[in-house]
Homo-oligomer: A and B are copies of this chain.
């Protein structure tokens, strides 16, 4: 059986979990506490990061972008990238936006500070960093709203990896209740549509031991 090594609040693991589910590919989920730097894990991914996908034949695919491109190649339907080079470029541009810019500006400043820092025994969250994260996430909600006021889904007419990448980041921040959904109704409505997809359910059902999610976290009506 295909195995996916993951961490529950890793947005990149969540992105791959959703992509696998959307494509109907079965997999076993295996928790990898990357901070333990387990030697057997470093052998399969020297970067020491999740997600890592191991196929039934032993093929190892590391890095969430490499994995999602691979899944699109080996299981082209349903298509998550788009029908033309320009459409695929637009999807990939937005994946890079949420994986890179939003992760750095919002997810790291909020989930990184409030959860990982404390969990790893590195002390209290830095309040200036958290304030920056809370300011930045509003900008990302604005951008989601800007896009879905012009398009059905983030990258165009169809649900795509752009929606998956964005939802992966927002869902981690939403777990700790730091997404001000009231700030942008159009973004909230987009996230409600993502939440209602069967591929998102296992992610919403997942719990981090010792950390309860925000009250509305898995409500479809929030």
Contacts and interface: CB of A to CB of B under 8 A. Distances in A.
Interface of A: 46-47, 59, 61-63, 65-67, 69-70, 73-74, 85-86, 88-90, 92-93, 96-97, 101, 143
A93 B61 contact: yes
A70 B88 contact: yes
**Interface SS of chain A:** helix
Contact of A61 (B65, B69, B89, B101): B89
A85 B66 contact: no
Contacts of A93: 61-63, 66
A92 B65 contact: yes
B96 A70 contact: no
Contacts of A62: 93
A88 to B, nearest CB: 7
